Amino acid sequence: MDFKVKYEDWCKNQYFDEATKRELESIATNEEEMKDRFYRDLEFGTGGLRGIVGAGTNRMNIYTVRKATQGLANFIIKEGKQSMGVAIAYDSRHFSPEFSEEAALCLNANGIKTYRFESLRPTPELSFALRKLGCCAGIVVTASHNPPEYNGYKVYWEDGAQVTAPKDVQIIEEVNNVTDYAMVKTMTRAGAEQKDLYHTIGKEIDDAYMQELHNLVLSKEAIKSVASDLTIVYTPLYGTGNLPVRRILSELGFEKVYVVKEQELPDGNFPTVSYPNPEDKNAFKLALALAKEVNADLILATDPDADRLGVYARNNDTGEYEAFTGNMSGLLICEYELERKKELGILPENGAIISTIVTTNMAFAVAKEYGMKLIEVLTGFKYIGEQIKLFEETGSNEYVFGLEESYGCLIGTHARDKDAIVAVMALCEAAAYYKTKGITLWDQMLRIYEKYGYYKETLMTITLKGMDGANQIKQMMDDMRQHPMTEAGGMKVLKMRDYLKPEETKLPESNVLYFELEDDAWFCVRPSGTEPKIKFYFGVKGTSMEDAKQKAERLEADVRREVEK
């Protein structure tokens, strides 16, 4: 259907509310805007929905959320699991409460019970809650670390992980089969509550989740001995991490926790940052200023749905704060967990570490050091969650740690997604433990480099919006696939792995190219599954920090020149 026809239908159809129509009337003379809003339906991909909030088929609004939820409801009913119910959480973004409510009421209208949190909660707590409650699925309304104009909708299955194959494709089919918005069911909240379909959850789940975190602590005595000395600065970046992070640190006994006041309370505008991403150094400006004021040992930031953690630690030699990448903080936590479990005699013989294909190769070295199996999966923490489920079903391995380069990791199996709350807890615990040994987190990071080698990873992202951008991204992937580079950064390409060929990679089909280089170096390219971007990941191993830095820069420069020809 032509985008103008769709636009006219939304403007005239009685199904759509007056506020929606007024918004659309305001763009009546802007054909490009009209086209962008209606040239397609907002794609329900393997990770769910993500898009700009606004009126139109290619936007996040109550109608596209209802449509997606109707498809999910149809799938749940086909699976015969409607009696189990669905847990729902949401973050601090614009319309997150409204979208989560609409999702609940659509499910209720289809006879499916819902358990919706009373207020905003972290994504990992949703993963925990749906298993705790015995639900068949979960929904989180969040756009993670995207700019403020975005929102999104992620679907989880009964194992607590985001949906994987084949169910992800089956759900997508059901969503795509909902072609008429009038097919979508809904009802009032009062009616749903009267029929015992709509339930509100909160404190009881919070308490159970916190207890799971307490069960994972390995160094209680170390925390106790330095709890009054270790100084921590934390920013929730206006998101869901504020209360649970402060609660777990307080309950463990940490006394000097300073929260960045300007970024403490929920605010979907994220007024002091361009976008609330703990991967972005600009997001730390206020936290760094506070850290210098209070002489902090470490600085922590979680994204709005609190599944990613950004870290800075003080370098006592320079007095400055050093930034940690997701690979660095993940491997520091991993090394701490394995080292302590080995000391305590509780390191499992059949233990496994799981990382994604774009995560640092240092993970292989750490796994080898502790006799752990290292399993690589596709990009996306849902594949790590899938492995945890497989371990439980087969007994093949015991899960020890999982990480991905994009600032996400998981200790324990209470959740099946990356968990910044437990990562904060573990990092502060590690800082306390190392403080009792007379070293800082930065000192420990340097010790890890000396032990395993100076691994360094970088990321290059090219943003290409709209229909033309999508075509450009496709062309880039086609060119690299058909004419692969034979050398990059002065290093020979030893092998190209094409993840569209699962018979070769032994992993699910995915539009990803991975280039193995000499000297344990590599680069990888893939289109983002949630944003209009193409991402290039780079990894090298150097003899020093400076050597690794120069190798990474040369590698990235060569690949950039190739793709910009």
Task: Please report how the helices 362-369 and 441-452 are oriented relative to each other, as an axis angle in degrees rounded to 10.
Answer: 90
Provide, rounded to the nearest whole percent, the portion of the chain with pLDDT above 90. 93
Alpha-carbon distances of 285 from 264, 282, 288, 301, 306, rounded to whole Å: 14, 6, 5, 11, 19
CA pair distance 348, 331, nearest whole angstrom: 18
Work out whether strand 49-52 and strand 150-157 pair parallel, antiparallel, or are unpaired: antiparallel
pLDDT tens-place string over residues 399-438? 999 999 999 999 999 999 999 999 999 999 999 999 999 9
Alpha-carbon distances of 408 from 99, 302, 329, 416, 473, rounded to whole Å: 25, 10, 9, 12, 26
Task: Output the six-digit token pair for 71.
Answer: 């498809």
The pLDDT profile of the chain, 565 residues, written as one tens digit per residue, is 689 999 999 999 999 999 999 999 999 999 999 999 999 999 888 789 999 999 999 999 999 999 999 999 999 999 999 999 999 999 999 999 999 999 999 999 999 999 999 999 999 999 999 999 999 999 999 999 899 999 999 999 999 999 998 999 999 999 999 999 988 999 999 999 999 999 999 999 999 999 999 999 999 999 999 999 999 999 999 999 999 999 999 999 999 999 999 999 999 999 999 999 999 999 999 999 999 999 999 999 999 999 999 999 999 999 999 999 999 999 999 999 999 999 999 999 999 999 999 999 999 999 999 999 999 999 999 999 999 999 999 999 999 999 999 999 999 999 999 999 999 999 999 999 999 999 999 999 999 999 999 999 999 999 988 778 888 899 999 999 999 999 999 999 999 999 999 999 999 999 999 999 999 999 999 998 767 899 999 999 999 999 999 999 999 999 999 988 7
Residue 532: its pLDDT value, please?
81
Residue 45: its pLDDT value, please?
84
CA 552 to chain centroid, in Å, comes to 25
Write down the domain spans for the chain: 40-206, 454-563
CA pair distance 161, 152, nearest whole angstrom: 17
DSSP 214-243: HTT-S-HHHHHHHTTT-EEEEE-TTSTTHH
CA pair distance 409, 423, nearest whole angstrom: 7
Sign of CA dihedral 336, 342, 348, 349: positive
Residue 1: its pLDDT value, please?
65
CA pair distance 510, 63, nearest whole angstrom: 30
Helices of type H across 270-355: 285-294, 326-344
**Amino acid at residue number 23:** E
Fold designation for 454-563: TATA-Binding Protein (3.30.310)
Active-site amino acid positions: 144
pLDDT tens-place string over residues 127-176? 999 999 999 999 999 999 899 999 999 999 999 999 998 999 999 999 99
CA pair distance 134, 130, nearest whole angstrom: 6
pLDDT tens-place string over residues 222-245? 999 999 999 999 999 999 999 999
Residue length, the chain?
565
Please say whether the beta carbons of 235 and 259 come within 8 A: yes
pLDDT tens-place string over residues 172-196? 999 999 999 988 999 999 999 999 9
Kindly report the CATH class assigned to 40-206.
alpha beta
Alpha-carbon distances of 177 from 74, 272, 565, rounded to whole Å: 10, 41, 41
Residue 46: its pLDDT value, please?
79
* Structural Rg of the chain based on CA atoms: 24
Residue 445: its pLDDT value, please?
98
Task: Output the six-digit token pair for 392.
Answer: 């439980």
Please say whether the beta carbons of 306 and 240 come within 8 A: yes
Q: Find where tokens 């905003």 sit.
A: 120
Please say whether the beta carbons of 86 and 136 come within 8 A: yes
Which helix or strand (DSSP H or E) is residue 137 part of?
Answer: strand 137-141
CA pair distance 192, 200, nearest whole angstrom: 12
CB neighbour list of residue 478: distance below 8 Å, 6 or more residues apart: none
First to last CA, the chain: 36
CA pair distance 546, 543, nearest whole angstrom: 8
Q: Find where tokens 């169910």 sit.
A: 167
Please name which of 541, 545, 493 lies closest in space to residue 365, comparing C-alpha atoms.
541
SS3 405: coil
DSSP 361-380: THHHHHHHHTT-EEEEE-SS
CA pair distance 182, 171, nearest whole angstrom: 19
pTM score, whole prediction: 0.95
SS3 563: helix
Looking at the DSSP bridge assignments, the partners of residue 23 are none
